[in-house]
Amino acid sequence: MASFSDNSFQTFTFDDLPIGRDTWIMDEAYMSKWEAEWLKNIHDDEDASPYTVGYITPVSIEAITPVGAEIRWYPNIHDRFHVVKTFLPREALVGAALAYEYEKRVTVFVKGEWLRKLHLRSNSIFAMIDAVDMTAAIQSGAILHDKVIRLRDSLDEFAARHPFISFISFADSLLLKTNWTAGMVETDVKYTYVPENLLILFRQLQTLYRDALGLEIYGVFAQGSNEYYDDPLLHISKAQNHISLNSLGLPFAQISLIEAAARKAIKAGAHPRMEVYMDSDLFHSLMFKNYQRKEAWPSAPYKPKMTSEPGHYYYAACDDLISCLHQP
């Protein structure tokens, strides 16, 4: 691990990194210049400008593990509160330091390759959509063959209008996936995260299912990192008999856990049936018109995988939620 030349800096090993505090990540390429500018500042050089060195990636470290650190990364803190849970491996750390008495945020220097991958990779938003009371409709004879074909054909037409979203249907269920990027300075990759669009699309699917099956739907939503980060939305084998959603990671795991927790809560009377169930990170990233309305929104607990943090999901009627948001 890199060392700093002056005792004006407090240095940190991986296991000493601060937990639950605002922290800055920076490319190791800027470490020497960062140190030099801070030393100039510490020694009262009026031309010193340590805050103009390099580019910061704001994070909060949530837990230290034997193989790395669970982190909360904030790809956008300017016009929405966007958090992505991800992982910093030990081998990516180069050094970490704090300028005594001048700065409260530790700067963590990491390998440039890891940082570029973090900013340039594709991440995902997932939604699992299901018809309400489908079993009862089948048992009553309300779901006939022509209705099922009508649903499939309607979904074909609908999907054709949304080429940047993958649609996987099975029985009455529909799995949606769309990718987004955080972007990075001095590259052509831009910030493309607009989750409000998926809620508008869900409202359109409500109409589609009503027309095709005469049933209502609900959706479970989550967002975050995806280990298939360099791959397209879908993989279809040459033989056309294997379809992969190219999905592995926290958000894909969350949607089934949230659905199970919501079913249990509804059965126990903890909250009523709703149309939208959404992981807390996705919910808080939405652009609300009114902060107080957002803070008062009802939620319920669930236990997510792949993170030590407790989880919450928010539940809502779709039209009510959309009416509270700034539209893209």
Question: Structure pTM?
Answer: 0.90
Band of pLDDT at residue 240, cut at 50, 70 and 90? confident
Confidence check: pLDDT of 245 > 80: no
Residue listed under structure tokens 């808080």: 284
**Interval 91-114 mean pLDDT:** 95
Contact 274, 316 (CB under 8 A): yes
Query: How far, in Å, are 5, 9, 99 from residue 46 at the CA level?
Result: 21, 20, 17
Mean pLDDT value across the chain = 92
Q: What is the pLDDT of residue 138?
A: 86
Domain 122-323 CATH (choose: 3.40.50.150, 3.40.50.300, 3.30.70.1230, 3.30.420.40): 3.30.70.1230
Helix (H) or strand (E) run with residue 223 in it:
strand 217-224
71 and 90 in contact (C-beta within 8 Å)? no
What are the tens digits of pLDDT across the range 137-150?
888 888 888 999 99
The per-residue pLDDT for 225 is 79
Give CA–CA dist 194/282, Å, rounded.
11
E strands within 20-67?
Answer: 22-27, 57-65
What pLDDT is recorded for position 231?
A: 62
As given in the structure block, the two tokens for residue 121 are 């990779």
How high is the pLDDT of residue 305?
Answer: 77
Mean pLDDT, residues 179-197 taken together: 95
- Domain positions in the chain: 9-120, 122-323
